[in-house]
């Protein structure tokens, strides 16, 4: 086994490191903890955080990439498979490997299309063949399927609930304070429901394709889970690459004014005056041309797809930093007239120190709010861009590529609806959780909003 | 006012030059004319002669930005950049790769785009504001909370879902509307109804919530309390006072969009097979026709700047205190 670190992996690790470091930093500073404690008091915020962290867990597992060693050796040297897998793939290898021939409906035991089957007495029959894995343990699927599915769902749910009860029981035992707080009650109930669902689905996947299979027979549940990483990368890495630009330029324009302000305003007016879809499309087109012409840069297909994903993030970042930059400029313009800044200037404190010690901490809430607000729109944008043909690499599994592939099958009769429904469903849950969490964070961090909420 | 307008238009020129430089850099520096020629000619027929000939035909046989051989001002004007962008300022976009006049294409494709974009815009505005006013009227009650929850759910649904779902329902279940295509004149109505409905439904969540926030901001102000104290009914407060005073933030977000309506919607048009500017752009993107994409980028930024100027003018209409100088 050889670990592989792709570009986006490295950036995700960086992001996790930054997250842990800032959590450590905030922990011992009560005034920074305050808004977070406000978030922790919101039921909706905490439940959506729970859902989000499940998604993040899948995404992070899917980020630990490696190449498996092949059994045969070349002159004593280990040969590695060209296929890049992740820890998540290894974890759900059953889902990944049990591929059927083509489409099959969710929880089906038969293939979607008719085929010629040879009966034991030598005759050819045109019928729906049995699936290789879905419901293969049943002797007579027509009669036994419903009962078997019911039994497995029930057992799985019970198992999931049991695990959840043990876990939450442990948490309550360790932190008795959680027993009384209101959001924790909601979180416990949500945790129970989620683990029940996960238990049921996990138990069913052992014998069925819970969400059906796609055109080449891949399990749709597996594809949906793999798409999560792409969505998370687009939503977070984009912000990570645009943040330095927006922060530096926005604060500099507001603080220094004069010609610095003019130049920076000119740059962002130019960028924002181009319709963003067109700018993204144009940039992605150029990137595609460059990557196609330099196929020799990448020794693995996964690396090429990954660089494309990274470039998409960069491009989305370049086109989306202007909004935040404008907000930061406005806020800094206001802040620099405050007395404490003028006092600092009068004392001869250097501009750099004023910016880092006084201005930056005071605009951080704007940055945080806009980062979480942008996340959901970026996840949605990925699907649209992939549909238009300027999104991720076609070999990258993402919600956009899933929708694109499934869309072509809408006209078939009976309809192949499951791939579309799963992609939209997973995306809805992810974006909804992100939106609700963003709202909770905005309520907690925005001082202005709190006041108006109080009046109404 | 006139002086103000002239100054704003003058400001627009450096911005447009910047836009042009940017798109130029994207297209020509990353993808040199030689590469373009090779791509257009195909792999088989690539000879240096063929490339030179293609470049000459399409006007790419000059230096990119700076012509050292030319005399005086020719150093800057006798280049690809100048020739390709100067003509854009008089809206002459040249020819697409399949030899059609881009300006004429834009003229003929504008109408279908507008036939969808304008009704979507106005019907949408009406519905969003009504919905937001209703939520404001019932603020802090169960109705309002349900409304906001609905908005959050609606805005979490992918735009693709509305299009695919709407198209599917209309075609499979009702059989009363063509799914895609377009016809001129009055026949166009039956083709545009579905895209309009879907376009309006697509942003009902985010827009209504946004308007609600604006209205809530206004309703906490002192003049509203004064009006209520005078005994003005709540409905009258909403329409006469809150709506009127919320006009400035509403216009800030809305007027910029109006000129961009000409550009059509990329997604809706390509899904419904409407021969508008949006689908034109998508086709150009897929065919890697850079002259068309460049023309659309330029047109888009011109319209955006027009939108910004219109926003300023609209302020003077709704708020007599605003004077443009």
Per-residue pLDDT of chain A in tens (456 residues, 90 and over written 9):
788 888 889 999 999 999 999 999 988 888 888 888 888 888 889 999 999 999 999 999 998 888 888 887 777 777 888 888 888 888 888 888 888 878 888 888 787 777 777 777 777 777 787 777 777 777 777 777 888 888 888 888 898 888 888 887 777 777 776 666 777 778 888 888 999 899 888 888 888 888 888 888 888 999 999 999 999 999 999 988 888 889 999 999 999 888 999 999 898 888 888 878 878 887 887 788 778 777 777 777 888 888 889 999 998 988 888 889 989 999 999 888 889 988 999 999 998 999 988 898 888 888 888 888 889 889 998 888 888 778 888 888 899 888 888 877 776 767 788 888 899 999 999 999 999 999 888 888 876 655 444 333
* Averaged pLDDT for residues B128-147: 90
Q: Give A101's contacts (C-beta < 8 A, 6+ positions apart).
A: A111, A129, A132, A217
Q: How far apart are CA A288 and CA B249, in angstroms?
A: 40
- Please tell me which of A289-293, B149-153, B196-200 the model is most confident about, judged by mean pLDDT: B149-153
A282 contacts in B (CB within 8 Å)?
Answer: 23, 26-27, 285, 293-294, 297
- How many Å separate Cα A84 from the centre of its chain? 20
Determine phi and psi for A80, rounding to 5 degrees: -105, 145
CB contact under 8 A, A273 and B15: yes
Q: How far apart are CA A386 and CA A398, in angstroms?
A: 9
Q: Which of residues 261-280 of A touch B (CB under 8 A)?
A: 266-267, 269-275, 277-279
CB contact under 8 A, B293 and A278: yes
Q: Give A180's contacts (C-beta < 8 A, 6+ positions apart).
A: none
B139 contacts in A (CB within 8 Å)?
Answer: 456
A292 contacts in B (CB within 8 Å)?
Answer: none
pLDDT in tens, B34-51: 776 776 666 666 677 777
* Averaged pLDDT for residues B124-134: 92
Q: How far apart are CA A429 and CA A50, in angstroms?
A: 12
CB contact under 8 A, B19 and A273: yes
A22 to chain B, closest Cα gap in Å: 29
CB contact under 8 A, A275 and B297: yes
B36 contacts in A (CB within 8 Å)?
Answer: none
Predicted structure pTM score: 0.87
CB contact under 8 A, B35 and A293: yes
Determine phi and psi for B320, rounding to 5 degrees: -65, -15
Query: What ipTM was assigned to the predicted interfaces of this complex?
Result: 0.82
Q: How far apart are CA B106 and CA B96, in angstroms?
A: 11
Q: Which of residues 436-455 of A touch B (CB under 8 A)?
A: 436, 439, 452, 455
A270 contacts in B (CB within 8 Å)?
Answer: 15, 18-19, 22
Provide the 3-class DSSP secondary structure of residue B34.
helix
Q: Which token pair is A427? A: 């995306």
CB contact under 8 A, B164 and A420: yes
Nearest CA in chain A to B222: A455
pLDDT in tens, B270-306: 878 888 888 888 888 777 777 788 888 888 888 888 8
B283 to chain A, closest Cα gap in Å: 10
- Which one of A282, A422, A427, A436 would you mutate to disrupt binding with B, by most B Cβ within 10 Å of its Cβ? A282
Nearest CA in chain A to B294: A282
CB contact under 8 A, A273 and B39: no
> pLDDT band at B180, cuts 50/70/90?
low
Judge whether residue B72 has pLDDT over 70: no
CB contact under 8 A, A270 and B15: yes
B88 contacts in A (CB within 8 Å)?
Answer: none
When comparing pLDDT for A175 and B75, which is higher? A175
B260 contacts in A (CB within 8 Å)?
Answer: 275
Please tell me which of the candidates B19, B156, B219 has its beta carbon nearest to residue A456. B219
* Averaged pLDDT for residues B228-255: 87
A432 contacts in B (CB within 8 Å)?
Answer: 152-153, 156
B151 contacts in A (CB within 8 Å)?
Answer: none
- pLDDT given for residue A453 in this prediction: 43
A390 touches chain B (CB under 8 A): yes
Q: What proportion of chain B, given as a percentage, has pLDDT over 90?
A: 10
For chain B, how many residues are written? 325
Please tell me which of the candidates B156, B164, B270 has its beta carbon nearest to residue A428. B156
């Amino acid at each position: 086994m050889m670990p592989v670190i792709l570009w986006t992996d490295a950036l995700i690790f960086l992001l996790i490191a930054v997250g842990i470091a800032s959590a450590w930093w905030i922990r011992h500073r009560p005034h920074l903890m305050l808004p977070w404690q406000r978030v922790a008091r919101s039921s909706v915020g905490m439940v959506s955080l729970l859902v989000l962290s499940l998604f993040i867990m899948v995404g992070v597992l899917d980020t630990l990439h490696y190449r498996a060693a092949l059994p045969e050796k070349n002159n004593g040297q280990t040969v590695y498979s060209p296929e890049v897998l992740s820890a998540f793939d290894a974890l759900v290898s059953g889902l990944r490997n049990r591929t059927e021939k083509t489409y099959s409906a969710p929880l089906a035991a038969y293939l979607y299309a008719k085929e010629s089957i040879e009966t034991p007495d030598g005759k050819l029959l045109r019928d729906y063949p049995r699936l290789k894995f879905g419901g293969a343990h049943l002797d007579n699927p027509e009669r036994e399927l419903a009962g078997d599915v019911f039994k497995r769902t029930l057992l799985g749910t019970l198992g999931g609930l049991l695990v959840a009860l043990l876990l939450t029981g442990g948490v309550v035992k360790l932190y008795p304070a959680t027993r009384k707080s209101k959001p924790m009650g909601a979180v416990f109930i949500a945790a129970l429901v989620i683990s029940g669902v996960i238990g049921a689905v996990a138990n069913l996947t052992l014998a069925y394709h819970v969400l059906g299979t796609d055109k080449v027979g891949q399990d749709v549940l597996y594809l949906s889970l793999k798409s999560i990483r792409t969505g998370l990368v687009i939503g977070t890495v984009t912000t990570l690459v645009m943040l330095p630009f927006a922060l530096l330029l926005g604060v500099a324009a507001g603080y220094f004014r004069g010609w610095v302000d003019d130049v920076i305003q000119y740059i962002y007016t130019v960028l924002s005056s181009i319709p963003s879809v067109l700018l993204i499309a144009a940039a992605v087109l150029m990137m595609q041309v460059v990557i196609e012409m330099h196929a020799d840069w990448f020794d693995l297909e996964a690396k090429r797809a990954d660089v494309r994903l990274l470039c998409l993030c960069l491009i989305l970042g370049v086109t989306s930093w202007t909004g935040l930059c404008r907000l930061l400029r406005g806020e800094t313009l206001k802040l620099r007239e405050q007395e404490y800044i003028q006092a600092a200037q009068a004392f001869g404190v250097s501009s750099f120190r004023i910016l880092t010690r006084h201005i930056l901490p005071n605009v951080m809430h704007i940055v945080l709010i806009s980062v979480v607000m942008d996340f959901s729109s970026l996840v949605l944008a990925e699907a649209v861009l992939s549909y238009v043909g300027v999104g991720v690499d076609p070999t990258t599994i993402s919600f956009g590529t899933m929708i694109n592939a499934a869309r072509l099958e809408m006209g078939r009769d009976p309809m192949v609806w499951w791939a579309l429904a799963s992609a939209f469903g997973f995306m809805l849950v992810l974006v909804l959780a992100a939106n609700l969490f963003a709202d909770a964070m905005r309520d907690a961090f925005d001082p202005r909003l709190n006041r108006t909420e109080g009046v109404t | 006012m006139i002086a103000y307008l002239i100054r704003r238009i003058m400001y627009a020129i450096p911005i447009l030059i910047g836009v042009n430089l940017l798109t130029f850099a994207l297209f020509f520096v990353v993808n040199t004319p030689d590469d373009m020629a090779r791509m257009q000619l195909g792999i088989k027929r690539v000879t240096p002669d063929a490339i030179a000939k293609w470049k000459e035909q399409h006007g790419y046989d000059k230096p990119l930005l700076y012509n050292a051989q030319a005399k005086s001002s020719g150093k800057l004007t006798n280049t690809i950049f100048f020739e390709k962008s100067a003509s854009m300022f008089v809206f002459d976009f040249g020819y697409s790769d399949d030899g059609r006049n881009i300006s004429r294409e834009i003229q003929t494709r504008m109408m279908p785009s507008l036939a969808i974009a304008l009704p979507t815009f106005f019907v949408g505005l009406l519905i969003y504001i009504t919905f937001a006013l209703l939520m404001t009227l019932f603020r802090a009650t169960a109705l309002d909370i349900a409304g906001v929850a609905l908005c959050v759910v609606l805005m979490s649904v992918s735009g693709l879902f509305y299009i695919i779902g709407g198209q599917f329902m209309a075609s499979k279940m009702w059989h009363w509307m063509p799914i895609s295509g377009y016809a001129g004149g009055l026949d166009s109505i039956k083709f545009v109804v579905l895209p309009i409905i879907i376009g309006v439904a697509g942003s009902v969540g985010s827009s209504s919530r946004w308007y609600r926030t604006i209205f809530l901001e206004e309703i906490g102000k002192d003049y509203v309390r004064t009006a209520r104290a005078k005994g003005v009914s709540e409905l009258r407060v909403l329409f006469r006072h809150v709506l009127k005073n919320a006009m400035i933030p509403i216009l800030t977000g809305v007027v910029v969009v109006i000129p961009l309506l000409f550009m059509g919607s990329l997604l809706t048009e390509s899904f419904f097979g409407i021969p508008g500017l949006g689908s034109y752009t998508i086709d150009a993107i897929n065919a890697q026709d850079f002259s068309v994409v460049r023309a659309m980028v330029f047109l888009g930024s011109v319209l955006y700047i027009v939108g910004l100027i219109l926003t300023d003018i609209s302020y003077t209409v709704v708020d007599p205190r605003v004077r443009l100088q």
